[in-house]
Chains A and B, each alone.
Chain A
Amino acid sequence: TILISSLGLGTTLTFIGSHWLLVWMGLEINTLAIIPLMIRQHHPRAVEATTKYFITQATASTLLLFASVTNAWTSGEWSLIEMLNPTSATLTTVALALKIGLAPLHFWLPEVLQGLDLTTGLILSTWQKLAPFAILLQLYPLLNPNLLLTLGILSTIIGGWGGLNQTQLRKILAYSSIANLGWMITILHYAPNLTLLNLILYIIMTLTTFLLFKIFNSTKINSIASSSTKSPLLSIIALLTLLSLGGLPPLSGFMPKWLILQELTKQSLFIPATIMALMTLLSLFFYLRLCYATTLTMNPNPTNMLSSWRTKPYHFTLILLTSATLSILL
């Protein structure tokens, strides 16, 4: 319980902080509090994932501290929104990109996510992204737009391409996270409210997906293929949620992508917009493959109809599912 409350405390501190030290402390509290949650299962893969996570996040926090201290040294300003030293601003961007797992600093994310159980992976993919984005959203006019665009486009490319050969669901979700974060970071300099919209919708959709996989108790494509016999309603919901993650209209996952592309074309960034749209097709392919396996095809040797129903605690996901799929485009 002290761990979960410290997770909440850390993110809250980063949200309310206006001094760099307080913001840094919030990020460190988040890292520290999630370490024992990750290692709860005690097998060597979880231990390795925890070690990798700790080292990468500690490096990112150190870089962030270094950037803020350099900024304070050269300009005397500890306030979060006054970052007058451009080197510090670039270093902050790189540090936060390492924190959330943007390409080319994404290499830890698939292996770390693979080593965790689905609930801890959910906390890592959704809650831990809130605090760094709070910093990025406050800093957006001071960051280098070329660097942000490069990080974003590279993330969509690697997120799409890297997820193609995966059969483990957690690694697929890791690459989908990389691609979605790429979309979010691209538009940060031009329209940060779209970044926020994309972040919120991504959190809702990923929450839904992780909870679905938890209910089906499956971590591979093989085991989710027999999900339509366990609960046909939930596998149809899985279909819609996965297509929403892929960004198909009329589901709500299309809305941020459309608005981001529109904003990019308004800024005359046609080539980045085209590249990102094309690379999202790659990630759509592996979402579609998941849909194939779960809903659209029957598994050989189907068990005879529905087995025992799940108990009540998982039903709160239904509220999120409705918002994930059936919200209309504005």
Chain B
Amino acid sequence: MMYFMFVMMIGLILGLMGVASNPSPYYAALGLVTAAGVGCGLLVGHGGSFMSLILFLIYLGGMLVVFAYTAALAAEPYPESWGDWSVLLYVGLYLVGLFVSGKYFMVKGWGLHWTGVEELSNLDMVRGDFLGVALLYSDGGWMLVLGGWVLLLTLFVVLELTRGLSWGTLRVV
């Protein structure tokens, strides 16, 4: 189990490095998918199963899909992937930084040094992760209203920013 978590943590760092090394958006979205996927696995390992399901559904299934469609609208003929030199430079820099910080923080002697992370919840009737959501609908009712108001505000902001099909500010190319 510990080995499984270890592999997932490596996957997380590699996926995030793949995003941050500035490739073309399709490859960055692939990096995000792998990072979010193994991140969900890590969450499940710590006991937050509901949180990880929500992350998969909303983040990957909602937002990333919309992003992939919009990136497909702005397609370029020669996208930069991780094999191109400009991207590989970033990847190399991040790998160097990773090894330096890993040597400083994590490797003591010959083995790896684990830091303790607390478990999110125990096996109660109401576990920590979805108890929060239940509270949002019951005692935290005003927070729900606030959340709804902010979502409505964001809708109007985005509609205002993209108003006007081809003479607006953020145009459909």
> What residues of chain A have their CB less than 8 Å away from a CB belonging to chain B?
2-3, 6, 9, 13, 25, 28-29, 32-33, 35-36, 39, 42, 47
CB-CB under 8 A from B168, the residues of chain A are 42
With beta carbons under 8 angstroms apart, the residue of B150, B156, B170 that contacts A3 is B156
Contact B157 A33 (CB under 8 A): yes
Contact B169 A42 (CB under 8 A): yes
Contact B161 A9 (CB under 8 A): no
CB-CB under 8 A from A42, the residues of chain B are 168-169
By size class, the interface of chain B is 10 to 19
> What residues of chain B have their CB less than 8 Å away from a CB belonging to chain A?
146, 149-150, 152-154, 156-157, 160-161, 168-170
Q: How far is the CB of B17 from chain A (nearest CB, A)?
A: 19
Give A35 to B168 CA distance when docked, in angstroms: 15
CB-CB under 8 A for A36 and B157, given A42-B169, A47-B169? yes
With beta carbons under 8 angstroms apart, the residue of A13, A29, A39, A47 that contacts B153 is A29
Contact B150 A36 (CB under 8 A): no
Contact A39 B154 (CB under 8 A): no
Contact B161 A2 (CB under 8 A): no
Known contacts A29-B150, A39-B161, then 13 further A-B pairs from the complex at CB < 8 Å, ordered by chain A residue: A2-B153, A2-B156, A3-B157, A13-B146, A25-B150, A32-B153, A32-B154, A35-B157, A36-B157, A36-B160, A42-B168, A47-B169, A47-B170
Q: How far is the CB of A72 from chain B (nearest CB, A)?
A: 12
The residue in chain A whose Cβ has the minimal distance to the Cβ of B147 is A25
CB within 8 Å: A-B pair count: 35
Give A42 to B149 CA distance when docked, in angstroms: 26
Q: How far is the CB of A20 from chain B (nearest CB, A)?
A: 14
Contact B149 A36 (CB under 8 A): no
The residue in chain A whose Cβ has the minimal distance to the Cβ of B154 is A32
Give A247 to B152 CA distance when docked, in angstroms: 44
Give A205 to B161 CA distance when docked, in angstroms: 32
With beta carbons under 8 angstroms apart, the residue of A29, A33, A35 that contacts B161 is A35
With beta carbons under 8 angstroms apart, the residue of A29, A36, A39, A47 that contacts B156 is A36
The residue in B160, B169, B170 that gathers the most chain A C-beta atoms within 10 A of its C-beta is: B169
Contact A25 B153 (CB under 8 A): no
Q: How far is the CB of B102 from chain A (nearest CB, A)?
A: 20
Contact A33 B153 (CB under 8 A): yes
The residue in chain B whose Cβ has the minimal distance to the Cβ of A42 is B169
Q: How far is the CB of B118 from chain A (nearest CB, A)?
A: 9
Closest 7 A-B residue pairs measured CB to CB?
A: A36-B160, A6-B153, A47-B169, A36-B157, A42-B169, A35-B157, A32-B157
Q: How far is the CB of A33 from chain B (nearest CB, A)?
A: 6
Give A64 to B160 CA distance when docked, in angstroms: 28
Q: How far is the CB of B36 from chain A (nearest CB, A)?
A: 18
Contact B150 A39 (CB under 8 A): no
> Can you report 15 A-B residue pairs in the complex whose CB atoms are below 8 A from each other?
A2-B152, A2-B156, A3-B156, A3-B157, A6-B153, A25-B146, A32-B150, A32-B153, A32-B157, A36-B156, A36-B161, A39-B161, A39-B169, A42-B168, A42-B169
CB-CB under 8 A from B157, the residues of chain A are 3, 32-33, 35-36
Give A47 to B152 CA distance when docked, in angstroms: 22
The residue in A6, A25, A28 that gathers the most chain B C-beta atoms within 10 A of its C-beta is: A6
Q: How far is the CB of B108 from chain A (nearest CB, A)?
A: 21
Q: How far is the CB of A207 from chain B (nearest CB, A)?
A: 25
CB-CB under 8 A from B154, the residues of chain A are 32
The residue in chain B whose Cβ has the minimal distance to the Cβ of A41 is B169
With beta carbons under 8 angstroms apart, the residue of B149, B156, B160, B169 that contacts A9 is B149
CB-CB under 8 A from A35, the residues of chain B are 157, 161
The residue in chain A whose Cβ has the minimal distance to the Cβ of B153 is A6
The residue in B152, B157, B160 that gathers the most chain A C-beta atoms within 10 A of its C-beta is: B157
Q: How far is the CB of A50 from chain B (nearest CB, A)?
A: 8
